[in-house]
């Protein structure tokens, strides 16, 4: 069984702003942020065009092993999942859990449009259609670490946010520091 998990980014988190200071998304529209930061509709993380095969542990996705059992990767999309047989690759790689570090609707202007009523570029249920998959909901990074630890008992784990870099790395780092190196 492959578990598809999403972590709600920012749940329970607080931030201090200076008087008159606004959140980045309030001052600059998210569409502009996505365009400036990663290319908007042509986001380099939304497919394999910008990456050498050696940068694609999972072909079709910017991805790499960060441990023997954890793949950090860019988010998949319905198109990429189908075109590059991502589910079959996960099975071949013995990846049993997919941990989505994005919030629904986040990075809506990067790459392909979000799937209707999901807030993501793929339907979480796509990974359940074979009968070997499940979906869990996780709130908070600590719960994310628990899910990674559980997934590791089942087999290898793939963790993603938009690009498979920042939030993905933080989640893996927390797992590494709290579970592997307590």
Give the integer Cα–Cα distance in Å for 65 and 56: 9
Tokens of 119: 């807030």
| 85 and 72 Cβ atoms separated by less than 8 Å | no
43 catalytic residue (yes or no) = no
Side-by-side strand order, sheet with 95-100: 63-65, 70-73, 156-160, 95-100, 2-7, 133-138
Half-sphere exposure of 76 (CA within 13 A, CB side): 28
Q: Which residues make beta-bridge pairs with 80?
A: none
CB under 8 Å to 162, separation ≥6 — which residues?
Answer: 38, 43, 45, 74, 75, 102, 106, 107, 110
Among the options 34, 43, 110, 161, which is catalytic?
Answer: 161
Residue pointed to by tokens 């690009």: 163
Catalytic residues: 161
């Amino acid at each position: 069984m492959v578990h598809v998990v999403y972590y709600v980014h920012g749940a329970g988190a607080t931030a201090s702003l200076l008087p008159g200071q606004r959140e980045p998304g309030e001052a600059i529209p998210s569409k502009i942020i996505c365009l400036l930061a990663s290319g908007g509709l042509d986001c380099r993380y939304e497919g394999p065009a910008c990456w050498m095969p050696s940068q694609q542990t999972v072909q079709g996705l910017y991805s790499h092993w960060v441990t023997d059992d954890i793949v950090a990767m860019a988010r998949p999309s319905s198109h990429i999942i189908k075109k590059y047989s991502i589910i079959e690759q996960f099975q071949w790689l013995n990846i049993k859990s997919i941990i989505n570090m994005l919030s629904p609707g986040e990075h809506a202007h990067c790459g392909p449009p979000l799937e209707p009523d999901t807030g993501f570029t793929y339907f979480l249920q796509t990974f359940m259609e074979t009968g070997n998959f499940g979906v869990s909901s996780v709130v908070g990074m600590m719960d994310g670490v628990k899910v990674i630890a559980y997934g590791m008992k089942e087999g290898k784990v793939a963790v993603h946010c938009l690009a498979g870099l920042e939030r993905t790395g933080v989640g893996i780092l927390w797992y590494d520091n709290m579970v592997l190196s307590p």
